[in-house]
Each structure stands twice: as C-alpha cells, then as structure tokens.
C-alpha cells in the first residue's frame, strides 16, 4: 500500500486539530466543579493585562509604532466589553494622545506627526467613542475629517488607505464606518462604493480585499458592513456569501479566515460578526433607515447648507454651530429616497432572518461551539490568543471578546434584552459581556451616546 504524503497545509491542520482536541478531551474528563471553574471568563486578569498595556508597552512593541491608535482601540474596546472603564487620569491621557495623532488637515495617523491613514482614523474614532463624554467626542474635528475622506476617495468608487496608498475593501469600510457614526456620510462619499465592493465578491461567495483576490473573513465583514451602511446590501449575492461564511467554521468550533486555512480566534468576530449581520439584516437595515430619515428632518430645519461650511471651520462634535449643516446625510434632489434604492427583506430573501422585538432568531453558525473554542483554546489567564501554541496579544483579545459577545446575543434580535441563559456558555453572571453594535464593533451604549452627540436621534 502506497504511503500517503501530507501537504504542509494538511500537516498544520492535523497538528492544530490535535492540540485543540487534546484540550477538549482534558476538559471533558475534569470533575464537574473543575469544569465549571475552567469555563469562567478570567475577567480580572484580562482587565489587568489590558490596563497595563494601555499604560506602558515594552520595547518589543516598537514594531507597532504606526498602529498606536489600534492598540488604544483594541484595549479600550476590550475593557468596555468586560463592562469596565479606565480611570479618569488614563482616560485624559488617552484622549490627549489621540488628539496629537489627529492631522491638521484631517484624519488620524499611527502616532503623533505620522501620515493620516484610514485604518488608524477608524481606530482613533472608535477609541474616542468608546471613551465617551464631551471631551472625548468633541475632540474629533469632523469638518477636517470629512475633507480627508474625500481626498482618499478614488474615481473607481473605492478609497485609498492613505495618500498614494492601496485601494481595498478595508479602506471602504473604515471610511464609510467613520463617516456614518460621525454623521458626515453623504452621496459624494457613497458614490460607486457599492460597485467597487460588488467587484470584490468572489465565485466562492465571500469578499476579497480587491478585485481578483481570494475571499477573506476580514474583508467579507468589511464589505458586508459597508454595503449595509450605504444601503446597497441587496446587490450582494447573500446566499452564496452566507454559505461561504458558515463553512468557515471548522471541527475545532472556531472560524478560519479563508478556505483551507487554520482556525484563528480573531475570526470569531470577523466571520461570526458577519454571520450575525446576515442573521439580523432586516432589523439593522430598519435602524439605518430610521437614522437616515431622522437625519433628513434635522437637515430640513437647518439654515445653513453644508456647502457653506468653511474648510477652516472646526466641526467639533455637538459643540459646533455648523455641525448639523455639514454633518448630515443626503438623499436625492427632491429630499426623497429613490424607491429603487430601498432595501427590503423580500429583495434578498431574508425576511425571516431578523426582526425587531424580543423574538429569538436562529444563528447561522454553532455559537456554543465557538464559545467553547474561545474560552478553552484562545483564553489564557490575562488575554486571548490566536490558537493553542500562540502567545496572547491585544488584537486577539479584542476580537475574541467581540466574537464572544456576538455569540452570547446571537439568539435575540433585541440587544436591549439580556440573552437567555442557554445562549451563554459557562457561568452566566461571570461570562456575560456587553452587547455591541455589529456594524461598527462598538459597545452598544457607547454607540447610542455617540449617535445622540453627533445629532442623530436616539
């Protein structure tokens, strides 16, 4: 009989699978009391790890010098998910640091004096929204940021990550997400974005970073969320996208980012969150319609048009007299939305996926299995990791916790209601996290505060 030769991909898969199953086997053989303790979220240890990282990072982190707003976001969002917050001194220091990352011509760089970049702009804005409060939110210069977004806009509909940088789906999401949450999204920013995203959906069903590339979990989330925000999600092939996503959950219980790749804890959010967006699509679309329509009413009451806003005017959150005029959504010339652009559940066949109210909706993936992978394989005593054998880091801590939150609230379409006990794996009171707004990956209470602050209705 001929000897079977495994490929490198197969070897790595068998090794990873073996490590994961060994952890599960060990857990299954523990006494019930020890199982109960092992399934707890190490909340205090995680907060200690995260807070120390926000205060000081060692020399080995110098390679992330251009990603410092990301470190702020990963840490602050993780702390918020755990239901905690930083002290006043650390909050002030974080706000002051991010303000020094804000470029005089708009956008945020990876550090003080660095080139403004869409990715770090997204991270900085989400960090400031997560911190919340007048000082934090009013530090965002929306007028300059809007000008920066326009400069990054490419004629093909996509966005460049920075001046002269690459154009990809990640850039589209970070630009549109920031514009949406700050209430500065308009037709000029939206123009042809949908066409660009559509050109990146692959034969597999997922979305690639750019046309002709391979479908990827991170880009799929970014593309899907962007299409929801610009109200063109019905243009995607949602059936094939859903199929591709759910088949990325492997035997280990976690998600892989691409076909034939290894499980990775961060895709608990990128794939799990995208699946939850599909599950709750109609309720999210309804919310976007509500925000969009109410924004038009605010604009109708305005006495100054956005065209009158000076480039030199500082549009600081809810404190600027020009914020309402400049930072608003637009429809067509008549003030009405084009009926052909209306997104309804019937158009994309998802009328039963998610509705408003308390009715539970069935997740598209195995939520308990994913929670088991996160708690037993990704969690360490202070932080989370990609998979067994890897080291903890702030990135995986952020997205493992985000994915865990997605799982816990996956059975109910109403984030204002606590999840059912059966939906939370392990100790309910110790493991329950804060709910997030799926499109922005911001803790929901912070999203609501930002929406009100930037003159969007509650």
CB 218 within 8 A of CB 268: no
The catalytic residue among 172, 200, 266, 315 is 266
Q: Is 172 a catalytic residue?
A: no
Q: Is 187 a catalytic residue?
A: no
Cβ-based neighbour number of residue 298 at 10 Å: 17
Do β-strands 384-385 and 392-393 pair in parallel, antiparallel, or remain unpaired? antiparallel
Q: Is 267 a catalytic residue?
A: yes
Within 8 A by CB and 6+ apart from 158, the residues are 167, 168, 169, 171, 172, 193, 196
Q: Which of 397, 404, 368, 367 is nearest to 380 (CA)?
A: 397
Q: Is 100 a catalytic residue?
A: no
The catalytic residue among 144, 170, 258, 385 is 258
Q: Is 289 a catalytic residue?
A: no
The catalytic residue among 173, 196, 267, 440 is 267
Cβ-based neighbour number of residue 166 at 10 Å: 13
The catalytic residue among 103, 168, 186, 386 is 386
Q: Is 390 a catalytic residue?
A: no
Calculated CA dihedral for residues 427, 433, 438, 442, nearest 10 degrees: -170
Using CB atoms within 10 Å of the CB of residue 371, give its burial: 0 to 12 exposed, 13 to 18 middle, 19+ buried.
buried
The catalytic residue among 396, 437, 446, 451 is 396
Q: How many Å is the Cα radius of gyration of the chain? A: 22
Cβ-based neighbour number of residue 92 at 10 Å: 14
Q: Is 393 a catalytic residue?
A: yes
Q: Is 55 a catalytic residue?
A: no
Calculated CA dihedral for residues 365, 368, 369, 373, nearest 10 degrees: 120
The catalytic residue among 103, 168, 186, 393 is 393
Classify 35 in phi/psi space as left (phi over 0), alpha (psi -120 to 50) or beta: alpha
The catalytic residue among 46, 216, 372, 387 is 216
The catalytic residue among 248, 261, 326, 451 is 261
Distance CA 135, CA 128 (A): 9
Distance CA 446, CA 426 (A): 26
Q: Is 154 a catalytic residue?
A: no
Distance CA 193, CA 215 (A): 18
Annotated active-site positions, please?
216, 258, 261, 264, 266-267, 386, 393, 396
């Amino acid at each position: 009989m001929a000897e079977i030769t495994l490929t490198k991909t197969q070897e790595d898969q068998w090794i990873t699978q073996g490590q994961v199953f060994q952890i599960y086997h060990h857990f299954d053989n523990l006494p019930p009391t020890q199982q109960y303790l092992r399934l707890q979220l190490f909340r205090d240890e995680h907060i200690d790890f995260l807070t120390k990282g926000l205060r000081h990072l060692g020399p080995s982190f110098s390679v992330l010098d251009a990603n410092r707003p990301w470190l702020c976001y990963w840490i602050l969002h993780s702390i918020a998910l755990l239901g905690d917050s930083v002290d006043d001194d650390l909050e002030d220091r974080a706000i002051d640091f991010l303000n020094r990352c804000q470029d005089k011509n708009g956008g945020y760089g990876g550090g003080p004096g660095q080139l403004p970049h869409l990715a770090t702009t997204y991270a900085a804005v989400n960090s400031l929204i997560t911190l919340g409060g007048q000082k934090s939110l009013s530090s965002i210069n929306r007028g300059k940021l809007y000008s920066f977004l326009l400069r990054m806009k490419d004629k093909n509909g996509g966005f460049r990550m920075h001046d002269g940088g690459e154009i990809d789906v990640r850039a589209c999401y970070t630009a549109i997400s920031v514009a949406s949450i700050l209430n500065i999204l308009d037709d000029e920013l939206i123009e042809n974005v949908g066409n660009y995203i559509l050109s990146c959906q692959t034969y597999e069903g997922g979305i690639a970073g750019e046309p002709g590339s391979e479908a990827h979990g991170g880009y799929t989330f970014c593309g899907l969320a962007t299409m929801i925000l610009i109200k063109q999600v019905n243009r995607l092939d949602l059936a094939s996208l859903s199929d591709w996503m759910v088949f990325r959950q492997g035997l280990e219980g976690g998600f892989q980012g691409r076909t034939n790749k290894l499980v990775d804890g961060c895709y608990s959010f990128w794939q799990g969150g995208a699946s939850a967006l599909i599950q709750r699509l109609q309720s999210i679309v309804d919310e976007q319609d509500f925000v969009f329509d109410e924004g038009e009413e605010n604009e109708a009451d305005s006495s100054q048009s956005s065209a009158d806003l000076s480039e030199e005017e500082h549009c600081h959150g809810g404190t600027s007299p020009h914020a309402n005029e400049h930072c608003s959504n637009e429809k067509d010339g008549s003030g009405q939305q084009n009926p052909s652009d209306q997104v309804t559940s019937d158009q994309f066949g998802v009328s039963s996926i998610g509705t408003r109210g308390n009715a539970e909706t069935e997740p598209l993936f195995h939520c308990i299995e994913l929670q088991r992978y996160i708690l037993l394989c990704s969690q360490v005593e202070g932080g989370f990791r990609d998979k067994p054998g890897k080291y903890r880091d702030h990135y995986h801590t952020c997205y493992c916790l985000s994915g865990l939150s997605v799982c816990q609230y996956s059975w109910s379409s109403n984030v204002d209601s606590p999840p059912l006990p059966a939906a939370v794996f392990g100790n309910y009171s110790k493991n329950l996290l804060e709910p997030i707004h799926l499109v922005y990956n911001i803790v929901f209470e912070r999203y609501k505060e930002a929406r009100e602050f930037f003159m969007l209705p509650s």
